[in-house]
Structure 1
Amino acid sequence: MVNWAQMHDCYGDFDRVPELPELLARVEREDDDAEAWDELRYRLILECDLVFPASSAALPRLVRLASRSAPARGLAGAIVRCAAGRHDCDDLPAGCAEAIAELRELLDRHLRSRPDDYLATFRDLIAVEGHYHWGAVLGDFSDDFYQVACPHCAVEVTIAIGGYGCYSAIRDWNLGDVDRHDLRPASPRGSPASVVGSTRPPSVMGKLCSPTESPIFGQAECPRCASVFNIADEYTSSNRPLM
């Protein structure tokens, strides 16, 4: 039995938390209660992707509802995906092992139906599998910058992926990205796509592993020491949460 009086949510106000069971009861009765779902999402996941002890407490009920409710499935997946962020709730998944295992089966079954929300569910499943750092940002690996440490000389290397180019560089805050080197082609082996099996649609697998669509899974040359390293490996090393 959850003692909601010992929980807190985005308001950080213990007096308001008992309202959460009422909201959960409302969506259990009426899955199309948009107002209740909006309030739950706000209370359990703040805009900066923070989660709270109340998020963990709500997870088992959301998972039980997820087999017949798309909003519950999405909210449960988002809670797990955000739980290992850099905040005070990094240990939340440890207390929800049964719910997370059940959620993994639900997400996998949903993915096998080739749904329209494939990428969002795929990210949730990767997070449920324990690859939180990939689940948190996988949808963004198409137009952004990432900082990794060269495994050989430890210099901070900027990895650029997007319309402005796909390259490694040293970032100079006055001159911009200097000493650029084009990223090298990706390989399907070793990408996080392999984490969740090989039964994924070719279109999704192609986007994850294509050197033009997702060069994050290729190789980069260090501008400082000229060594070549696997980008995904170094992104993992730099960003894997401490659990």
Structure 2
Amino acid sequence: MSRAQDLSDGSRDGVHGRDCYGDVDRVPELLARVEREDDAATWDELGHRLVLEGDLVFPASFAALPRLVRLASGSTRARGLAGAIVRCGAGGHGCDDQLAACAGAIAEFSGLLDRHLRSRPDHYLSPFRDLLAAEGHYHWSTVLGDFSDDFYQVACPHCAVEVTIAIGDYGRYSAIRDWHLGDVDRRDLRPASPEGLSGTGRWMHETVVRDGQRVLADGLTYLFGRTECPRCASVFNIADEYEAANRPLM
């Protein structure tokens, strides 16, 4: 779960807003510096001040977002930092107003990410997860893996038992996880057909197919497919149950 830190003093103009140390002037200085030259040490300090411990964001984070988005088309560092801010802010409580104030920058960022993904970058998953966050699919942006070693925990909607969903090179199954015996009472997942996908699943699948990401495309058909509960044998949609349990509270 992402966290937000004292967002009441945030600014919309990209100049003010407290960072992780409570400073209001240092982030604008650092932004001005990276706008002049792509300096690794400056980017490192900027990233630390805007996204602490991987999930803690600040008023300065949102204030900096428009300037980071303007840099993102030509800077991998700016694109990654902007993505981290959107992902972390979206998952936390108390950030709604800050995100709403950045709606224009986030929409611009979404378009930029989509164009970047069309170029089929080597490290595809990270910007794809950033795109998910920018498009409002926050729960998937934080957990989606490359389907080589992915596990998702869902509750059976019928008997409420916790079910482990595995999608990876070792298999595609549901199971009850026993910490001594491992995954027991496995049941094969039932993938959705690409034609049968709808909503978020269809959009995600069409995007990765467009960009030639075959492993992601195949994994998504299982993630948005169905499975049988190992305990009560009822059949349910995996993604529906995961989304219902993991959407941020409004």
- TM-score (ref. length: structure 1): 0.83
| Match of residue 217 from structure 1 | 224
What residue identity is the alignment partner of 2:124? Answer: Y
| Count of residues in correspondence between the two structures | 235
CA offset at residue 183 of structure 1?
1.9
Matched, 1:9 2:15: no
| Match of residue 52 from structure 2 | 46
Unaligned 5+ residue runs, structure 1? none
State the percentage of identical aligned residues: 69
Matched, 1:126 2:136: no
Aligned with 1:102 (options 79, 103, 108): 108
| Match of residue 195 from structure 1 | 203
What residue identity is the alignment partner of 2:161? Answer: V
Q: Secondary structure of the residue that 1:203 maps to in structure 2?
A: coil
Q: Distance in 2 between matches of 1:141 and 1:210?
A: 9
| Match of residue 247 from structure 2 | 240
Matched, 1:63 2:72: no
Q: 1:60 to 1:85 in 2, by over 3 A?
A: same
CA offset at residue 50 of structure 1?
2.5
Per mean C-alpha deviation after superposition, the further-off stretch among 229-238 and 125-134 is 229-238
* 1:62-211 alignment, distance < 5 Å: 62-86=68-92, 89=95, 92-139=98-145, 141-188=147-194, 189-190=197-198, 192=200, 194-195=202-203, 198=206, 200=208, 201=210, 203-204=212-213, 206-210=214-218
CA offset at residue 38 of structure 1?
1.2
